[in-house]
Amino acid sequence: MTGRTGEAGRTGRTGEAARPGRAGRGAPQTGAGDLLELVRSGRATTRGALQQATGLSRATVGQRLDRLFRAGWLREGAGGPVDSPLGGRPSITLEFDDEHALVLAADLDTRHARAALLTLTGEILAERSGTLVIEDGPEAVLGELGRWFAGLPAAAGRPAAQVCGIGLAVPGPVDSESGRVVQPPIMPGWDGYDITGRLARAFTDHTGLPPVPVLVDNDANLMAYGEQRTSYPDCSAFALVKVSTGIGAGMVVDGCVYRGVDGGAGDIGHIRVPGGERALCRCGSYGCLAAVASGGAVARRLAEAGVAAASGSDVRELLAAGHPEAVGLAREAGRRVGEVLATVVTLLNPGVLMIAGDLAGTAFVTGVRELLYQRALPRSTAHLEVVTSRLGERAALVGAGAVVVEHLYAPERVEERLRALGV
């Protein structure tokens, strides 16, 4: 059972695909997809509870569930508690069968990539990382990524035919309708390229299998979604700032990734900051936050001082070794980012602000805190937690996998997929 639907090359809005508990918000819950949503969310996990939640008859609920069982998406669990004071047989619980399919995910950075095979609940079964230079262009990078993907199921002892979708994180703004990056400052040659179609073909070329759906999103968005779902599921306003080669932010509001009207939300690295007028950014402008406070900017200043550093990852290694000049520059960079985040926090009023990426160490976070709490309104920071990443380098992988699952098992898409499977 693969769950393929012929959707290769399509991409859904992350905000919609990632919104949990959509079923029942102003619409009747009548289809098999709606019942699956209730079971997956834990809001109704027995036949009786589904009848009560939907108002459907016992026979109709049974018919809908039979389709889900035949597709291999549901299974029966242990008996639940006996609700009646008179006793009787316990209700059989229903569970989403997370073993019937697998998801592939990848996270592209400027010179490095990481790929993984995940279960439908986000457990990483196999992983691979290595050098992939984004400046080599989408044709070469995505072709190689397809080769990586082909080897991951075998490494986990699972058949590649179980892969039902692919999620990809990229370091640039993504148009949610097309899945294409839009004027990405650090992705030369990628603007407007058909990423979803090329990656779907690369998967087919290296596995001989039919194409599967591919979803693409900005890396900070997917990191934020993965971290929020995993560690802060009850946080209704969550913000993550990634500081590596560039600087970007992802926001999860009411369980949904906030992307703006065309995918440009969170691009804080290109906010102009005072004192940076002479710093040329890779976007072509002067004075951008990324030009003065990113990992790349810190690496350039270290190189000018005679310290061997060419990228944010080099800075990370220097910070880990306690290099004094790197520590000082990282703290200064944190202060510059904290000044911008004071506005972000005042506008969004998040419960959690997470710092991630190459510079997300003690020195940088200390600098962020200094300016953030100095400049932001006390009311905006009274209940704010400033934390560092829990998932580390796997955050975008977990987020990408979760977005694919939410997309493929959304109620309206379940109906399409069941019809395609003939059940």
Residue 404 predicted with pLDDT over 90: yes
Q: Please report where in the chains the tokens 């939640």 appear, as a residue.
A: 53
3-state secondary structure of 92: strand
pLDDT of residue 283: 87
Q: Could you give the CA distance from residue 74 to residue 321 in angstroms, rounded to a whole number?
A: 50
Strands 352-356, 237-243: parallel, antiparallel or unpaired by DSSP?
parallel
pLDDT of residue 2: 38
Is the confidence at residue 3, as pLDDT, over 60?
no
What one-character DSSP code corresponds to residue 181?
A: B
**68-101: per-residue pLDDT in tens?**
999 999 999 876 555 545 455 667 999 999 999 9
Query: In degrees rounded to 5, what are phi and psi of residue 92?
Result: -80, 125
Q: Give me 356's structure tokens.
A: 């991630």
Phi, psi of 104 (to 5 degrees): -105, 145
Percentage of the residues of the chain whose pLDDT score is greater than 90: 82
Q: What is the mean pLDDT of residues 161-183?
A: 93
Strand, coil or helix: what is 399?
helix
- Say which residue the tokens 């970007």 belong to: 248
Q: Are 416 and 5 in contact (CB under 8 A)?
A: yes
What's the pLDDT at 15? 36
Residue 163's Cβ-side half-sphere holds a number of Cα atoms within 13 Å equal to 35
Section 107-119 average pLDDT: 95
The rounded percent of the chain whose pLDDT value lies above 70 is 90
For residue 301, pLDDT over 70 is answered with: yes
pLDDT computed for residue 343 by the predictor: 95
Is the separation of the CB atoms in 344 and 233 below 8 Å? no
- Residues facing residue 108 across a β-bridge: 113
Task: List beta partners, residue 253.
Answer: 237, 256
Q: What is the pTM of this model?
A: 0.89
343-384 pLDDT per residue, tens: 999 999 999 999 999 999 999 999 999 999 999 999 999 999
Predicted pLDDT of residue 87: 52
Q: Report pLDDT digits (tens) over 177-228.
A: 889 999 888 899 999 999 999 999 999 999 999 999 999 999 999 999 999 9
Banded pLDDT at 405 (limits 50, 70, 90): very high
With H, G, I as helix, E, B as strand and everything else as coil, classify residue 130: strand
Q: Residues 109, 395: contact at Cβ < 8 Å?
A: no
CA atoms of 65 and 87, how far apart (whole Å): 26
What was the pLDDT predicted at 176?
82
Amino acid identity for residue 230 in this structure: T
**H or E segment at 50?**
helix 47-54
Residue the block writes with tokens 């932010």: 249
pLDDT of residue 29: 60
Looking at per-residue confidence, does 275 or 359 come out higher? 359
In whole angstroms, give the CA distance from residue 372 to residue 368.
6
- Helix ranges (DSSP H) in 105-159: 138-155
Q: What is the pLDDT of residue 17?
A: 36
Indicate if the pLDDT at residue 136 is higher than 50: yes
Using DSSP's 3-state secondary structure scheme, residue 237 falls into strand
Summarised one tens digit per residue, pLDDT across range 18-39 is 333 343 444 456 899 999 999 9
